[in-house]
Every structure is written in structure tokens, then in C-alpha cells.
Amino acid sequence: MTFQPEKRHVLSQALNELSDRLYGYAMVLSRDRTEAEDLVQETCVRAIQAIENLRPDSNVKSWLFTILRNIWLNRLRRQRGAPKMVELDGDESTAQTAVAASKDPHALYVSKMEREQVREAIQQLSDEFREVIVLREYGDLSYQEIASVVGCPAGTVMSRLGRARSKLRSLLFASLRTPDRRANGATE
């Protein structure tokens, strides 16, 4: 059995590694920076309080994402409102901005436009598709971890992910074709 200090170290390390991903997922769920920060903070508090229940063979990443999702669902139940989703990465961090400053301005513009197109396309997906795409591509969770977080079989996750990617591909293709038609003088 794992000793308490070892569990604390494992949890501390996981929180340090996953804090940005947890925040990103919280932003997708809440659509509000303050709410996302509160969700992550509450996740950390609950994880620390429940550290004694953590088994040595537990998947800490999946456990943390599940805690965050459950906190969000409980808040939704209290508010009796529909779930909201949010853009994936609102503002660039200071580190990203510093690195970006050394790039070609045109490349920066193109990169920003591509991110915005992907973000807009993801926002058009249904909630169930959006959630699995974000957990997989931005949260970097495995199919089994997503299944654990969402509460469905891994096969369902794979199916939703496949359909979500297909829909996303179609949305992005359509958004890329629209400027071309305008450039060639076509009207809508």
C-alpha cells in the first residue's frame, strides 16, 4: 500500500502536469474564465481531500478529469440550466506570445486564423462530440480515460470521436471553401 506522502507527491505532480489541460476542459464546459478557475480550484481541493481514497493502481489523470466533470455537472443541476461549452484557448499565454513574436507576421496571422476556424468548427459540434474531441485532442486523454470521465464504454467514445472528427473535417472544409468562392467573385 502507498504511504500518504507518496500519494501527495503523485497528486502534486499530476496537478502540476495537468493544470493547463484541466483549465482548458473547464473552459470548454463553463464558457467562463472565472467559473473555469473555480472548477479547477475545486477539483484540486476535492482531490486533496480524497487522497486517502486513491488506490496505488489508479489513473490519476482520469480521476482528476472525472472530479472536474462531476463538479461541473453538480453545479449545472443546482442551476437547472443547459450545459454550455466554450472556446478552447481564449488568449495566448505570455510564453506563446513571446515565441510568436520571433515568427514571420504573415505566418502568425495564418496560424491565428486557422486556430479561430478550428475553434469555431468545434463550437458547432454537438455537446457529446465536442466533449470527446476536447478531452482527446486538448486533454490528451486515452479512449479508456475519456470513457471513465464521460461514463460510457470505450467503444462509444471511439464511435463518437470518429463521428466528431468526420463532422469537424466537413465543417473545416466548408469554412475553407467559402473564402475561395468569394475571392473568385462568386456570391452567396
Rounded-to-integer distance, Cα 96 and Cα 23, Å: 17
Rounded-to-integer distance, Cα 41 and Cα 170, Å: 36
pTM as predicted: 0.60
For the chain, which residues make up each domain, given as ranges? 1-85, 98-188
Q: Which three cell numbers stand for residue 62?
A: 482520469
pLDDT per residue of the chain (188 residues) written in tens, 0 to 9: 445 777 778 888 888 888 899 998 888 888 789 999 999 999 999 988 888 887 878 888 888 999 999 998 888 888 764 445 554 555 544 445 444 455 677 777 777 788 888 888 888 888 889 889 888 988 888 999 999 888 999 999 999 999 999 998 998 888 777 654 444 444 44
Terminal-residue alpha carbon distance, the chain: 66
CATH of domain 1-85: 1.10.1740.10
Query: Which residue from 8, 2, 6, 28 is spatially nearest to 138, judged by alpha carbons?
Result: 28
Q: Which three cell numbers stand for residue 145?
A: 480515460
| Structural Rg of the chain based on CA atoms | 19
Cβ–Cβ < 8 Å for 164, 132: yes
Rounded-to-integer distance, Cα 72 and Cα 182, Å: 42
CATH of domain 98-188: 1.10.10.10
Query: Which residue from 30, 23, 69, 28 is spatially nearest to 46, judged by alpha carbons?
Result: 69
Collect all residues with Cβ–Cβ distance below 8 Å to 110 and sequence separation of at least 6. none
